[in-house]
Amino acid sequence: MEIHIGIQNVSREIVFETDLSKDEVLERVRAAVQDNTPLEIADNKDGTIVVPAGVLGYVEITDTTSRRVGFIAG
């Protein structure tokens, strides 16, 4: 999944890929907003993105498998 996180009063968004399913990401976002706790999501590069729930502007979740393009060297 590709995740786009918009932060209030910040012009750039955070973009990363994760192995979590759409439902897992949605569950974490909902829990963070409801409990006013930081949103924590592990990315594909062994990192962790942590965003305080109070500054979340939006979270966009897209499936990256349908948009990949590859080339095979001959």
pLDDT, one tens digit per residue, over 31-56 is 999 999 999 999 999 999 999 999 99
3-class SS string, the chain:
CEEEEEECCCCCCEEEECCCCHHHHHHHHHHHHHHCCCEEEECCCCCEEEECHHHEEEEEEECCCCCCCCCCCC
Question: Minimal CA–CA distance to 59: which of 9, 10, 11, 14?
Answer: 14
Look at 74 and 2; give whichever has higher pLDDT.
2
Which residues on neighbouring strands pair with residue 61, listed in sequence order?
3
pTM of this prediction? 0.81
70 confidence band (pLDDT: 50, 70, 90): low
**7 pLDDT more than 60:** yes
CA distances from 50 to 5, 71, 73 (A): 11, 34, 38
